[in-house]
Amino acid sequence: MIEFRNVRCTVPSGQVLLDGLTLKIEPGETLALLGRSGSGKTTTLKLINRLREPASGEVLVDGKPVRDWDVIKLRRSLGYVIQEAGLFPHFSIARNVALVPTLEGWDPARIVARVKEMLELVGLDPAQFADRFPDQLSGGQRQRVGVARALAADPPVLLMDEPFGALDPITRGEIQQEFVALRDRLQKTVIFVTHDIREALLLGGKIALLEAGHLIAHGTPDEIRASSDLAVKKFLQ
């Protein structure tokens, strides 16, 4: 379980990125962090794996404040997918996927098997793709590898920062469908950032709507659609 307790986050210049955020994410839930750019949605995500630190308030993972976690251990238990995948260009696809298991000191045979399993999971033929390099793949393929890499060490939580933002509309539609299937199969806690209302409604089990650093709505897609709040209605149009 992940929990935000009255979290405020600022940058050194004093600008407030996020204020008074209180939010609970249940195990197995898929939460869409929805908002315009500058609304604080990416900040919210990065507070979980400590790429950002709160100015006040507390973020808890599994009931323990994140600042009490060993930061490396915390991050390795939270799969992380970013826009345009962030694959390492000097690593083959197999090595990219194998990264966290390698760091965790897995047995080499187990790593090979896991890489194969992960590539198959995201719909890439291991025989064809394992030895290629990121610059030989299309944007959609790279994004799938990014997901495979994040899932390789089997973390209970997956954090995704605009994972489909850089894809063309057709690829994006395809990969969103696959994501739904994957989500239902893996039963992981997934938190993803998006500015696309349709994507949030399609993929999110719950949606947290942020505006200028404040949480203005939190609920299931149906609850959000039915909201009578003016700001929410305005966003939905």
Partner 1 sequence: MKTLHFFAEHRQEMLGLTGEHLLLVAIYTLIGAIAGIPLGVIAAHRPRFGKWILGFANVVQTIPSLALFGFLIPLPFIGGVGSRTALVALVLYALLPIVRNTATGITGVDPVMREAALGLGLTPRQMLWMVELPLARGIIFAGLRVATVVNVGVATIAAAVGAGGLGMYIFRGVSMVDNRLILAGAIPAALLALVLDFTLGQIESSLKNQRRSSFPLLSFFGVLCASVVIMLFPRSHVSTIVVGGKNFTEQLILGEILAQQIESHTALHVERRLNLAGSLIAHQALIAGEIDMYVEYVGTALQGVLKLPLITDPDAAAARVRSEYASRWGIEAGQSLGFENTFAVLVRGEDARRLHLGTITDAVSYTPKWTAGFGYEFMEREDGFPGLSRVYGLRFAAPPKVLDLTLTYRALAGKQVDLIAGNSTDGLIPALNLTQLADDRHYFPPYQAVTLVRGSTLAAHPEVRAALDALADKIAADEMRRMNAAVDLDHREPRDVAAQFLRASMRY
Q: Which of 8, 76, 116, 183 binds partner 1 (CB under 8 A)?
A: 76
Smallest gap, in angstroms, from Cβ of residue 133 to partner 1?
5
- Interface with partner 1 (CB under 8 A), residue total 26
With respect to partner 1, which residue has the nearer C-beta, 34 or 100? Answer: 100
Q: How far apart are CA 129 and CA 114, in angstroms?
A: 14
DSSP bridge pairs for 215: 210
The DSSP code sequence of 148-206 is: HHHHTT--SEEEEESTTTTS-HHHHHHHHHHHHHHHHHH--EEEEEES-HHHHHHH-SE
- Asked if 72 interacts with partner 1 (CB under 8 A), we say yes
Smallest gap, in angstroms, from Cβ of residue 197 to partner 1?
26
- Asked if 88 interacts with partner 1 (CB under 8 A), we say yes
Binding mask 34-53 for partner 1 (x = CB under 8 A): ---------------x-x--
With contacts defined by CB under 8 A, name the span among 57-65, 97-105, 186-194, 211-219 that binds partner 1. 97-105
37 residue type, one letter: S
With respect to partner 1, which residue has the nearer C-beta, 4 or 80? Answer: 80
How many other C-beta atoms are found inside a 10 Å radius of the C-beta of residue 168? 10
- Asked if 24 interacts with partner 1 (CB under 8 A), we say no
Angle separating helix axes 93-103 and 108-121, nearest 10 degrees = 130
- Asked if 149 interacts with partner 1 (CB under 8 A), we say yes
Q: Which helix (H) or strand (E) holds 61?
A: strand 56-61
Q: How far apart are CA 230 and CA 24, in angstroms?
A: 24
CB 93 within 8 A of CB 135: no
With respect to partner 1, which residue has the nearer C-beta, 106 or 133? Answer: 133
Q: How far apart are CA 211 and CA 34, in angstroms?
A: 9
Residues 100-119 that bind partner 1 (CB under 8 A): 100, 103
With contacts defined by CB under 8 A, name the span among 52-60, 80-88, 169-177, 226-234 that binds partner 1. 80-88
Applying CB under 8 A, which residues contact partner 1? 49, 51, 72-76, 78, 80, 82, 84-90, 92, 99-100, 103, 133, 135, 149-150, 159
